[in-house]
Chain A
């Protein structure tokens, strides 16, 4: 065993010196390889963590949200509508929600104005999300004016800023009292934006949805399970898009690596010829080249992956985030909780280490099994 290890170490010695002789080329390959692993690992770590976080956080969303549509457009829920739903069997709790959008011409950004049902906010006061705190320089106790659609200016005092840790869901929120909301948007009394429903038996949610459509044909129920499914599929799509954009880079690298690994240079061929002439066996030459391919790709994988992990979970995906958020004025800045999918890492490992190692071996095997004299002369 010791002899075998010693032999492998000598082979690695030889490989390392041979790589060091071609320093520029070897380093170039290692850097490009590492970068590629870094980019791929960043995208997959980020998407996986975001998908997990979304699924977990949105599990508490209302079981059914009921909208009313008129001519394919979302319309307000008129008075009396909620009472009609109350008669649908299986519905446990019903609440009218009040929310809407406000375009702030100062920042050229959209906010989501909302009236919380479980929380009392005094009239004239608002609670703002952390993105507003950042971009409008707000803090608790500050005043801010918004111009309503009627043209009037309304001034509010910020009573609180929502927690930064929940930015993924609260970044652009502005919470206010119902009276302020109705006054600000001139929202008709007794009307609501939509309705949130909870069903007593979770197995019955779909049936209740059906009953609602039958009882109120102009309504559109959105089930919690659909919300979760939507977000799950979105991150698959985004990951796919990033990978599609990267596919040109991956292909280019593939060609580069194939060229480097599969096409032996005249110098390498001569080296193999000399090694064989001085008594190396075919197996030794192949083992030496195996170490070269394996060590280069393993190092590229390890360094690329570690760099990607640090980038995503300690630097908030800062290199690629601007690509995604370039045009959104308000964008949440959140630290994701690391969720690593073992299978994903294993796939990345297999696809980054194996092909390159295999590609180095094939031509070497061909060169190493021919006569040293022919190899040196060709």
Chain B
């Protein structure tokens, strides 16, 4: 009859082997996905895409980088932001840093 320690250590070793296998699997999958990733990169270049399709419900969550700071609230005066995905995505950092150092560096228009 096997000792309890054999069973425990055996099971732990099996789990450790599976853990190591995830790294092997990751390397294999990376190779398999590589051509598809390259095709996606080309598609982004060809279509001049700028955003990921994460949330399609509102334009400031669909094209996050193209939205401006007001777009979440511009449906009517004193409008509140009402799309749920807005709470999952923060306003892009670039909008908060800005309206960009570019604005500050630019000469004021007369």
Identify the A interface with B (CB < 8 A): 9-10, 12-13, 15-17, 20, 53-54, 56-62, 65, 67, 69, 72-74, 95, 97, 101, 109-112, 114, 116-119, 129, 131, 162-163, 165-173, 175, 194, 196, 206, 209-210, 213-214, 217, 220-222, 226-227, 229-231, 233-234, 237-238, 241, 295, 298-299, 302-303, 305-306, 309, 313, 324-332, 335, 337-340
Contact = CB atoms under 8 A, between A and B. Distances in A.
Given A166-B39, A167-B53, A306-B22, A16 B8 contact: yes
Nearest to B29: A338
Nearest to B63: A112
A305 B5 contact: no
Contact of B4 (A17, A65, A74): A17
Contacts of A114: 47
8 contacts: A12-B5, A12-B9, A112-B62, A163-B36, A165-B36, A227-B50, A326-B84, A338-B26
B48 A95 contact: yes
A121 to B, nearest CB: 12
B65 A169 contact: no
B47 A337 contact: no
Nearest to B58: A110
B15 A214 contact: no
A291 to B, nearest CB: 9
Contacts of A119: 46-47
Contacts of A327: 57, 84-85
Residue from B16, B57, B71 whose CB has the most chain A CB atoms within 10 Å = B57
A165 B9 CA distance: 41
Given A57-B40, A97-B48, A302-B16, A169 B94 contact: no
A170 B52 CA distance: 8
A154 B110 CA distance: 46
A167 B68 CA distance: 25
A295 B8 contact: yes
Interface string B12-23: 100110110111
Nearest to A61: B50
A325 B64 CA distance: 16
Interface residues on B, range: 35 or more
B106 A214 contact: yes
A59 B41 contact: yes
Contacts of B93: 229-230, 233
Contacts of A9: 3, 5, 9
Interface in B22-43: 22-23, 25-26, 29-30, 33-34, 36-37, 39-43
B110 to A, nearest CB: 9
Contact of A110 (B48, B52, B57, B109): B57
A295 B12 contact: yes
B44 A57 contact: yes
Nearest to A170: B43
A9 B109 CA distance: 80
Contacts of B78: none
Contacts of A166: 36, 39-40, 43
B88 A324 contact: yes
A210 B102 contact: yes
Given A60-B45, A116-B46, A340-B22, A214 B107 contact: yes
The 6 closest A-B pairs by CB, nearest first: A16-B4, A338-B26, A302-B15, A165-B36, A12-B5, A60-B45
Contacts of B48: 61-62, 95, 97, 117, 196
A12 B15 contact: no
Contacts of A305: 19, 22
Contacts of B19: 302, 305-306
B49 A234 contact: no
Contact of B5 (A13, A116, A220): A13
Given A173-B47, A221-B102, A328 B74 contact: no
A337 B34 CA distance: 8
B12 A299 contact: yes
